[in-house]
Amino acid sequence: MICPRCDSDQAYKVFEAEDGSWEVYRCPRCNFNWRSTEGEEVTNPSLYNPRFKLSERQIQELPPKPPIPPLRIREPGRNGQRKS
Ligand SMILES: [Zn+2]
């Protein structure tokens, strides 16, 4: 599977509907995700808007994704608790 955004051939299917009516794909190179039911301007690499294509250099220069902080455990007596 070719990634519409960066043209990598490493894209793969990550999920599909039980009835097979749609699938979700992911590109490990640029992290683009798309559904099979989106328009050809999204799913077809040759019709993807060139303004939004990513080159190898652009991918290398992407800022790192911010880490997801650990879940906070709700303390007793704070928001979300009912008064008895
Ligand atoms: Zn890609």
Q: Letter for the amino acid at 62? A: L
For the cut 80, the answer to whether the pLDDT of residue 79 exceeds it is no
Residue 21 CA to ligand 1 center (angstroms) comes to 23
Which residues partner with 25 through β-bridges? 13, 34
pLDDT at residue 84, as a whole number: 54
For the cut 90, the answer to whether the pLDDT of residue 34 exceeds it is yes
Cα distances (angstroms) measured from residue 67 to each of 17, 37, 47, 64, 84: 30, 31, 33, 9, 38
For the stretch 14-27, pLDDT in tens is 999 999 999 999 99
What is the number of residues in the chain? 84
Residue 79 CA to ligand 1 center (angstroms) comes to 42
Cα distance from N-terminal residue to C-terminal residue, the chain: 57
Residue 77 CA to ligand 1 center (angstroms) comes to 47
pLDDT at residue 82, as a whole number: 58
- Residue with the bigger pLDDT between 79 and 31: it is 31
